[in-house]
Chains A and B, each alone.
Chain A
Amino acid sequence: MKSTQHLLVLAALAGACALAHAQAPAADEPEIASYSIDTTLKLSSDRKTRGVSDTFGRPGAELTVAFAHESGLIGQFQLGSVSRVNYPESNRLNPMLALGWRGGDPSALHYGVAAAREWFPRARVRGAPTGFDENFEPTGVADTSFHTSYLVGELGWGYLTARYLHVVSRDFRGANTSTICPGYLASDMAAALDCYGQGMRHSRGTQLLDLDLAYPLNGSTKLIGHLGWQKVRNFRGMDTMDYRLGLEHTRWGVVFGAEVAGAKVRDRAPFVAVDEGGTTRRMDATKLILSIAKRF
């Protein structure tokens, strides 16, 4: 985790140095911008990450600030909303910071690398058992946060982009024995005991692969497609294949989106959430998501 933070700091320093060497314009040319900053606010009827809802199937919002420098350095800060049902005790916010470098030709081969970290402030699972003895007494307890760090590699051709993410933090969004195994207790005791029986395990080394398409149908409408694969280290039941297919249409400076998104999961138990009122929902359910986004 510390190594990722060091990478983020180094990338920020590199960006500051590059900015200091911005080129001066020629006498007969207008001044050319050496960097760009774009801010986008998006509201959606559900906020899913890789086909799994972060908002208990309820509407969500995200603010994204994207930075690009002529050296190829890129940065992105995103502040999204999450539900306390999915992330207990959280302040309902999910900040994410990514820093990296991108190069190539957008109409042919393009590529990039980045380091990213997402936080779930205050979200924590406290005192969850890490295993049970023969008398079904806990053999230990653990506190778990959901913060996650990633190393990212990107390779694309034209409108297609493949992105590989490798989890370098101890857990991938809080996935460990004390948080995953309880999901099986209500539905499959044998699976729960098997899950606990292997001792306290974490999910560093989880691998994610995203394949994204943004194909312009005309000047104002894009076809959006996504396929993603998630392989969670030590917890095969969390493996998923997710999909997204929709349209984005720009009018009056606003992007209107409609897409069908969901995930195919290996085990359903870890993807079922129950709120305080007893409402049970599948977070991986395929559904139509409507969105509206405005760039500033």
Chain B
Amino acid sequence: MRYPLTLAACLAAYVALPTHAATAKDAHGTWLSADQAAIIEFKECADAPGALCGQIVWDKDAGTPADACGVRIAKLKRWDGEAWRDGWVHDPRSKKNYKGVLRAQGAMLALRAYVGVEVLGETEEMTRTAAPAQPCAPR
């Protein structure tokens, strides 16, 4: 019984390790979705200065009925010093909108969509990538 408890304590310590402080600009740029099916560009919203918007700029399903090219998937209005908050996240698959929070941690971007409280949600983790060679055609 002693060794599993030691293992559990090590796991707890590992997952609780602190991460470096992020800035509002860390989220800017192009990011590859976890399933590698889309690239999303995050930048300041054209229609809401100071807010952060995410838009699909490459979709592997481009030209098919599932094409989500050009779809805005997130709009977050406030940087609280740790994460972008106060906005919405759009799921192109279910066509539903959820509350959202976005955190950048180095080369990873965690976009969490949730209902009500943050714990009732799901996180999409993206990795930083170069801008697509053949971006979506303007809509």
A105 and B119 form a contact (CB under 8 A): yes
- B98 CB to nearest A CB, Å: 5
Considering only residues 1-50 of chain B, those with a C-beta below 8 Å from chain A are 1, 4, 7-8, 11-12, 15-16, 33-35
Chain B count of residues within 8 A CB distance of the other chain: 32
Cβ–Cβ < 8 Å partners of A36 in chain B: 96, 98, 115, 120
- B62 CB to nearest A CB, Å: 18
Q: Is A197 an interface residue (CB 8 A)?
A: no
Bound together, the chains give a CA A36 to CA B115 distance in angstroms of: 7
B35 and A68 form a contact (CB under 8 A): no
- A99 CB to nearest B CB, Å: 14
A160 and B33 form a contact (CB under 8 A): no
Chain A count of residues within 8 A CB distance of the other chain: 40
A33 and B97 form a contact (CB under 8 A): yes
A225 and B125 form a contact (CB under 8 A): no
Closest to A225 in B: B11
Cβ–Cβ < 8 Å partners of B90 in chain A: 30
Closest to A68 in B: B120
Q: Is B88 an interface residue (CB 8 A)?
A: yes
Q: Is A216 an interface residue (CB 8 A)?
A: yes
A70 and B12 form a contact (CB under 8 A): no
Scoring A residues 238 to 252 as 1 if CB is less than 8 Å from chain B, else 0, what string do you get? 000101000000111
Cβ–Cβ < 8 Å partners of B1 in chain A: 241
Cβ–Cβ < 8 Å partners of B99 in chain A: 32
User: Given A32-B97, A219-B33, A225-B11, are A68 and B16 also a contact pair (CB < 8 Å)?
Assistant: no
Considering only residues 85-114 of chain B, those with a C-beta below 8 Å from chain A are 88, 90, 96-99, 103, 108, 112
